Structure 1
Amino acid sequence: MLHLEHSIDINAPAGRVWAIFTDTAAYPEWNPFMTKLDGELTLGSRLAVTIVPPGGKPNSFRPTVTAVEPGRRLAWLGRLPIPGLVDGAHSFELEPLTPETTRFTQSERFTGLLVPLLGGMLRPAEAGFAAMNSALAARAESGPA
């Protein structure tokens, strides 16, 4: 198993952060890591996601949404065509710290037979989490509340 995680405290209310995070059509305008996210953010739906890890090449995949708690949490499961080789359980969590401050945490837990062999190839995603989280904070903290 491999667990990657990055958190950032954002000077904006959770509702604003959630609204920006779930406006996936705008990702190309601000998101340096997750450059595409198409599909309904509803339980059981399949998404089309493209990520670009810092210094890496674009990677597209089709995860299934496993949890949606509006204003609080979104999670999905991505896997290779054969389950159990490499499965990635990705989670985005918003925690209101004050009425005007939100902690945003992005994490992924990789499991499967190939994870020990591919761990080095998966680790750059953590820098991508940090880049996305910082860009989300910048967008949420600018402009009208």
Structure 2
Amino acid sequence: MNLGENIKKLRKEKNLSQEQLAEMLNVSRQAVSKWESGKTYTDIDNLVLLRDIFNVTLDDLIINENKTKSEDTIEPSKSCTNNYIEYEKDEEDDELSVNLMIGGLTIGMAIGLITDNFMWGTAGSFLGMGIGYILEYIRKAEPYHK
């Protein structure tokens, strides 16, 4: 079913005329008629109002495909699960690299303030970035050594 057919079906289930629905949405009856016939589409604001009026999700309102249970259920493959686990590990490793960079910058700035030499801030950030990149390189090369 498409959006227009869904609006028409849901409107009839609620025993509403096009005129009544149009009044609820503050649009013309002709606008509702055009939506139902598929000549035009409603804007997002009216979609949200229609969702509330008919008490359905936006997916059900827009798509409402009649699927069987087997079509609805998608079983994740082992590769999908493994990719997700690898993604979580990547996030943790990226966080480590960022923390090293921030730490190096902070230490460098502190030394720079104490010694009154701003170059320590720059050197500290480069040191932190360098260590971060080295650790990332080692982490990426690790699977090849197993």
Shared topology, TM-score over 0.5? no
TM-score after normalising by structure 2: 0.25
Higher relative contact order (CA 8 A, sep 6+): 1
Q: Which has the higher strand share?
A: 1
Larger radius of gyration: 2
Give TM-score scaled by structure 1 length.
0.25
